[in-house]
Chains A and B, each alone.
Chain A
Amino acid sequence: MLFNFIMVHHITVSFKEIELAVILFTLSYFTGISIGYFFSDKIDVKLIRILTPVYFIIQLLLVASVQTASYFIFDYFRDLTGSADFGTLTAFVVVFFFLLLGGTSMYSVFLPNIIESENKDLKHFYSVEIAGSILGLALLIPLTQFNHSYMLAFYFLLFIIIAYFTGSSYKSIIVFSVITIFFTYNFDLLDKSTSTIFYKNRYGKDYVSEIVFIKYTPYHKIEIAELRDGEFMLILNGKRQFAEGSHYTYSYFVAEYSARLIGNPTVCLMGCGSMSTVGRIGGFSKHIDIVDLDEAVFDVSKKYFAKYNKLNSLNNWSFVADDAKHYIANTNQKYDLILHDIPPARSRQTALTYTREFFQLVKSRLTANGLFSISSLTPLKSKSKYGLRMLATLCSVFDNYFALLVNNDVYFYGGLNSLKFPGAPNLTRLIDHPKKNEIVVLSKRELDQLVEGVDVITINNLGNLIFE
């Protein structure tokens, strides 16, 4: 259970496609179990004693370097073949085999072996194993509250106990213990160093200076990179969420423009990230409810992106640790403005907030003149239909709407029938942005024409969206 939790985190950071990473991990996890079962009667105590140090080293390597190693494998094979897909596939295959051989295959040998040798008392021994899983699960919750190195220390302590009971020599136990103490004590430093190498390679040595903060939560590996120009970059599960340059336009059109259309709104911000949107509208909003699954992201952003979110100087906000779907469905509050600031739909969890079903929930929480604001996140004229499908979904849910086309990016604003928008010239006049003259207002009719025949996103076709 602990190994599962640890490795899911390390692998999802390694690969850009979260869903593929989850599939890869789950497959290798359970295939490893099958391999262990298959060889369980061919492996004796002597062989287990010999293999234990090998497993120990593989598991240490996986924890310490899967993120960096998978990137280098990807990079090497991409350069060799000229195909990014081939690079990704090779990295997947290598990680898959290391996980399969060095992970669960070791543990699944024991249960059938013990049952066979103890007169087939399956009920007793399997019950003990399940009770162990329940205990591991119960321990996960408190362990996630502490530094990740505590969880690693605890996991490797259990490994050493298993090694002891399977007959590893005292010398081996001492070596395992010393390495574990050294590894976990220095894990933060090691993790920051390997992450720095990883992001320098991914984003460029001239862009990223170093990783200054890392925290593991049940949802994310949160990383803060310090950039060469002294600014910070927020990274969640290996994906860049906020960098100063790109956010200026985004937060203006998603938050400030829509809030100024209303005047003095009560706001629900779904998804926090850096919360630069709060900094944009905090000064003239009645109240802002910030809703995010992960309180740690909120805490980190509050500290590192205070310059943008201004939370320290504002007092008209509150934070709710909840997932957007659950919150919106259960709150009695109606809002003048609901902002969608959730990362792109690269996993089921986030993709569910880009569906017709979710937008219907959002619509039900708007006041009569309330507004929902969201960015298409994908340029309209690109190979991907992601942006168009999002617009088609939004148009199918909201009664009145318009959009702003800003350099091929689309910002959508929608509400109920009772919400009346001024004409396009007035909507343009309200824009206070350097690109004002390049911006095109798309009316409801123009949007309807644009998305004609485009598939709407529902819970039933999330995969198209995730892998678009």
Chain B
Amino acid sequence: MLAFLIGNYFALLQFAYYFLFEAFLTSRAISYFISIFFWLVGFLIGLNLKKRLSLKTVLLFSAAAFYISLLINVLVPFNKNVFFITGIFISASGIAPGYFFIYSKEMFTKVKQLFFHENNGFVFGTLISLVLVLFAGRWVLYLGPLTGIMLFFLESFYEYLNLPINNRTDEV
């Protein structure tokens, strides 16, 4: 369930960045390619990080990066100079999915389960993002990634409560 909710969060986050570009920067195709490029670069960095930080910290960092870039774009919309700054924030957020796979691979007996559940969450998140962005517009930007990460934290807290007291740790 946690992998599903994380996949859902990543979809909400990625789509929020995409809509941020469309609504506050530019709809040019090159900007779409560049936003995916920065996301993938972040992903690659995340995949190659050492497991020093908790997953929660990295996820919060990814959400914080999004909201800072959203704030900048709302304050200075359609600004050329903000374009590459936003790219850097996209990379910062993109670290989280890469780090998630490195962090979580040992929690699954088969790696296909990790990929499968995360991707199912991603499919779900993409579907609701595509529909919500049309009917709720900027509210998806304000609340989408926040809702995604909140769902993950609520579920991890629920699982934590269901663990025997002796088995509880700080980790997800």
Among A19, A34, A461, point to the contact of B123 (Cβ < 8 A).
A34
Instruction: Give the residues in chain A near B40, CB-CB below 8 Å.
Output: 130, 133-134, 137
Establish whether residues A27 and B116, one from each chain, have CB atoms under 8 Å apart when the complex forms.
no
Cα(A137)–Cα(B38), bound, Å = 11
Q: Which A-chain residue is minimally distant from B125 (CB atoms)?
A: A30
Establish whether residues B105 and A122, one from each chain, have CB atoms under 8 Å apart when the complex forms.
yes
Establish whether residues B27 and A349, one from each chain, have CB atoms under 8 Å apart when the complex forms.
yes
Cα(A325)–Cα(B137), bound, Å = 16
Cα(A133)–Cα(B47), bound, Å = 14
Given A34-B123, A462-B134, check contact A137 B37 (CB 8 Å): yes
Given A22-B130, A30-B122, A330-B78, check contact A462 B112 (CB 8 Å): no
Among A122, A462, A464, point to the contact of B102 (Cβ < 8 A).
A122
Q: In chain B, residues 120-137, which have Cβ atoms closer than 8 Å to a Cβ of chain A?
A: 120, 122-123, 126-127, 130-131, 133-137
Cα(A146)–Cα(B119), bound, Å = 33
Whether B58 sits at the interface, judged by CB under 8 Å, is no
Task: Spot the interface stretch: A111-119, A167-175, A264-272, A304-312.
Answer: A111-119
Task: Spot the interface stretch: B28-36, B59-67, B145-153, B161-169.
Answer: B28-36
Given A23-B130, A348-B134, A460-B137, check contact A293 B28 (CB 8 Å): yes
Establish whether residues B137 and A459, one from each chain, have CB atoms under 8 Å apart when the complex forms.
yes
Cα(A293)–Cα(B26), bound, Å = 10
Establish whether residues B130 and A26, one from each chain, have CB atoms under 8 Å apart when the complex forms.
yes
Whether A68 sits at the interface, judged by CB under 8 Å, is no
Q: In chain A, residues 120-152, which have Cβ atoms closer than 8 Å to a Cβ of chain B?
A: 120, 122-123, 126-127, 130-131, 133-134, 137-138, 140-141
Instruction: Give the residues in chain B near A37, CB-CB below 8 Å.
Output: 112, 115-116, 119
Given A30-B122, A122-B102, check contact A137 B33 (CB 8 Å): yes
Instruction: Give the residues in chain A near B22, CB-CB below 8 Å.
Output: 348-349, 352
Q: Which A-chain residue is minimally distant from B28 (CB atoms)?
A: A323
> Quick one: CB contact mask for B86-110 with A, threshold 8 Å, 1 for yes?
0000000000001001100100001
Establish whether residues B112 and A466, one from each chain, have CB atoms under 8 Å apart when the complex forms.
no
Q: How far is the CB of A347 from chain B (nearest CB, A)?
A: 10
| CB pairs A–B below 8 angstroms (9 shown) | A30-B123, A37-B116, A126-B47, A130-B40, A130-B47, A131-B44, A330-B78, A458-B137, A466-B134
What is the interface of chain A, defined by CB distance below 8 A to chain B? 19, 22-23, 26-27, 30-31, 33-34, 37-38, 40-41, 108, 111-112, 115-116, 120, 122-123, 126-127, 130-131, 133-134, 137-138, 140-141, 218-219, 293, 322-323, 325-326, 329-330, 348-349, 352, 458-464, 466-467
Q: 10 closest Cβ contacts across the A-B interface?
A: A463-B134, A218-B29, A329-B78, A460-B137, A112-B112, A463-B135, A326-B26, A459-B137, A37-B116, A30-B123
**5 extra A-B contacts, CB within 8 A, seeds A111-B115, A141-B30, A325-B78:** A23-B131, A31-B123, A33-B119, A120-B105, A330-B79
